[in-house]
A and B are shown apart, each in its own frame.
Chain A
Amino acid sequence: MHIIESGNVAAATGVKLSRVQVIAAYPITPQTPLTEKLSEFVESEQLTAQYIPVESEHSAMAVCIAASTAGTRAFTATSANGLLYMNEQLHWAVGARLPIVTCVVNRGIGAPWTVWNDQQDSMAQRDVGWIQLYASDHQQIIDSVIKAFRLAQTVSIPVMVCYDGYLLSHTYMPFDLPEQSEVDAFLPPFVPKHFLDPENPGNFNTVTLPDVRPGVDGTMRPGYIEIRHNLHQDLRAALDSYAEIDREFEQRFGRGGSPFVEQYRCDDARFVAVAVGSLSYQLRDVIDTMREDGIAIGVMGVQMYRPFPDQAVASALAGKECVIVFEKALSYGNQGPLYSDIKSTLYRMDDRPIIHNYILGLGGREIKTQQLLDALTESCARPAAIEDTPRWIGLKLQEEHHG
Chain B
Amino acid sequence: MATKTYCEMISRSQPGPGDGGNTGSWRVKRPIIDYDKCIPAKTKKRACFTCWLLCPDCVVSKTIPPAINLDYCKGCGICAEECPAGAIEMVDEASQTGKEK
Residues of A within 8 A of B (CB): 96-97, 154-157, 193-194, 201-206, 208, 215-217, 222, 226-227, 230, 234, 237, 240-241, 244
CA A267 to CA B15, docked complex, whole Å: 59
CA A364 to CA B1, docked complex, whole Å: 43
Query: With A97-B10, A154-B6, A155-B6 as given contacts, are A203 and B1 in contact (CB-CB < 8 Å)?
Result: no
Query: With A237-B4, A244-B1 as given contacts, are A227 and B15 in contact (CB-CB < 8 Å)?
Result: no
- Which of B6, B9, B11, B16 is close to A216, meaning CB atoms less than 8 Å apart? B16
Q: Is the CB of A234 within 8 A of B10?
A: no
CA A244 to CA B16, docked complex, whole Å: 41
- The proximity string for B residues 14-33 relative to A, scoring 1 for CB distances below 8 Å and 0 otherwise, is 11100000000000000000
CA A226 to CA B8, docked complex, whole Å: 10
Query: With A240-B1, A244-B1 as given contacts, are A230 and B8 in contact (CB-CB < 8 Å)?
Result: yes
Q: Is the CB of A204 within 8 A of B7?
A: no
26 A-B residue pairs with CB within 8 Å: A96-B11, A97-B7, A154-B6, A155-B6, A155-B7, A156-B6, A193-B7, A194-B10, A203-B12, A203-B15, A204-B11, A205-B11, A206-B11, A206-B12, A206-B13, A215-B13, A216-B15, A216-B16, A226-B9, A227-B11, A230-B8, A234-B6, A234-B7, A237-B4, A240-B1, A240-B4
Residues of B within 8 A of A (CB): 1, 4, 6-16
- Which of A201, A215, A237 is close to B6, meaning CB atoms less than 8 Å apart? A237
CA A237 to CA B3, docked complex, whole Å: 10
Chain B: CB-nearest residue to A240: B1
CA A201 to CA B12, docked complex, whole Å: 10
* CB neighbours of A201 from chain B (8 A): 15
- Which of B1, B10, B16 is close to A96, meaning CB atoms less than 8 Å apart? B10
Q: Is the CB of B4 within 8 A of A222?
A: no
Quote the shortest CB–CB distance from B1 to chain A (angstroms).
6
CA A96 to CA B89, docked complex, whole Å: 47
